Structure 1
Amino acid sequence: MGKLVRQCAVLFLFMTVVTGVLYPLITTGLARAMFSGEANGSLVRKDGRVIGSALVGQAFTEAKYFWSRPSATSPGPDNGASSSGSNLGPTHPALTDAAKQRMAALRAADPTNTRPVPVDLVTASGSGLDPEISPAAAEYQVGRVARARGLDPAKVREVVAANTRGRQLGVLGEPRVNVLELNLALDGLR
């Protein structure tokens, strides 16, 4: 019996070292060597300092910036440590009220815009951290951003088009615009 217990203990320690130490170290090392940016959080830097991640949405509230999707994380919006959706169904009154308030805020920020508000500007994503909006949501905001920056709307549309990503492999997902990268590109205009 003692021999069996000793064999089990040795096997347990061996597997702990292999699967709990060696494997994670090797895969992390390979990931950092082959995909450095992605393995380190897809961090976005400006002037040498980290200003965000291309994978996590951020709240932009100034008129000169494109606004992200609403965030449903807690205790506050865009909390990367607390990914969550609102878990409200499509007929829940609180979801309807929140969407109406968000539409009113968008209309107040750009009263001359009479187009329908794209759904991704008034509803949070499943994770509550979506860093991207649809090209329609970006187009909806072009007028406000162009006026606030004193730019020709055609120039702003060019920047949106340059920052629009297509479907993955040509068939997966939808075209999308990363809001942080788009706003940085606008900041880079002279």
Structure 2
Amino acid sequence: MRSNFLFLYSALGLVAPSFCSPINAQANDDVGCLSDWEQIYQIINLYPLAVDFNSTHELFPLIYAENAFANYSSPDGKRQNLRGLQTIIDTFAPDGEHYDAHHLLGSIRINLSKDQPDKANGTFYALTNTFGKGRFAGQLATFYGIYHDEYERIEEQGWRVTTRLFSQVGPASGNVSLLEGP
């Protein structure tokens, strides 16, 4: 007989995440449900969709907590010490006017806390290609980085990023000036 539990390997060994939690506050019981680990994994993977498809207004509220803090070591310096969901949205929303982005994520690690079941942390790598618009049309800049996140389960919302720290890993390549916009 097949078990309905999804077993995951972590740095600490075999982990059986909780059997089922709502996907989000709007989920109907018949939609299905995801484990805590899967919910956080889904949030991580929503981020590239939000940025790459210029959907920060729609998707960032599903990713970040209202009181979230984010610090991105970006060459333009605009993304440092961002406090609050609206500030994060306002900072990223204009990017689609300046360039198109394509994020590839990998080596995702999520650590659930036994002592604090409503808290977790994780890390993942990103390769980001940005394609210039306007005066930078046809130009490319590539960035390599690592994200360090802290997550919290928020009542009526599910898991959200409360802290996100991004650090570049190695030098960027191409014309990083295209982040300035057209």
Task: Give the TM interval when normalised to the shorter protein.
Answer: under 0.3
TM-score w.r.t. structure 2 length?
0.23
Larger radius of gyration: 1
Instruction: Please state which structure has a larger fraction of its residues in strand.
Output: 2
Instruction: Please state which structure has a larger fraction of its residues in helix.
Output: 1
